[in-house]
Amino acid sequence: MWIPSEKESVIANKLQAFTATEFSKWRAANGKQGPTPPTSFKTNDMLEFHQITVDTYKYATYGEINPAIFQVVSFPFLYAVMYGDYGHGFIFFLLGAGLCLFEGPLRKIPSMKGLLVTRYFWLMMGFFACYNGLIYNEFFAINNDWFGTCYDVKGFVPDEGVINYKTPVDNVCVYPFGMDPSQALSTGYLTFTNNIKEKLAVIIAYFHLNLGIFINALNCIYFGKWAKLTFDIITGFLIFLGLIGYMIVLIYVKWWYPVDPYTPPPITIPQNVLSISTSPSIITLLIGDVMGLTGFAEPNDPDLLWFP
Distance, CA of 101 to CA of 272 (rounded, Å): 62
The angle at the Cα of 75, spanning 71 to 80, to the nearest 5 degrees, equals 155
CA dihedral 194, 199, 204, 205 (to 10 degrees): 90
User: Is the pLDDT assigned to residue 307 strictly greater than 50?
Assistant: no
- Is residue 115 within 8 A of residue 123, CB to CB? The reply is no
pTM for this entry: 0.78
Percentage of residues in the chain with pLDDT exceeding 90?
Answer: 33
Distance, CA of 148 to CA of 164 (rounded, Å): 14
Which residues contact residue 107 at a Cβ distance below 8 angstroms, ignoring those fewer than 6 apart?
113, 116
Q: What are phi and psi of 212, to 5 degrees?
A: -65, -40
The per-residue pLDDT for 211 is: 93
Distance, CA of 303 to CA of 308 (rounded, Å): 10
Q: What are phi and psi of 41, to 5 degrees?
A: -100, 135
Label residue 13 by pLDDT band (50, 70, 90): confident
User: Is the pLDDT assigned to residue 219 strictly greater than 90?
Assistant: yes
Mean of all residue pLDDT scores within the chain: 82
Ramachandran region, residue 281 (left: φ > 0; alpha: ψ -120 to 50; beta: rest):
beta
Mean pLDDT computed over 181-190? 81
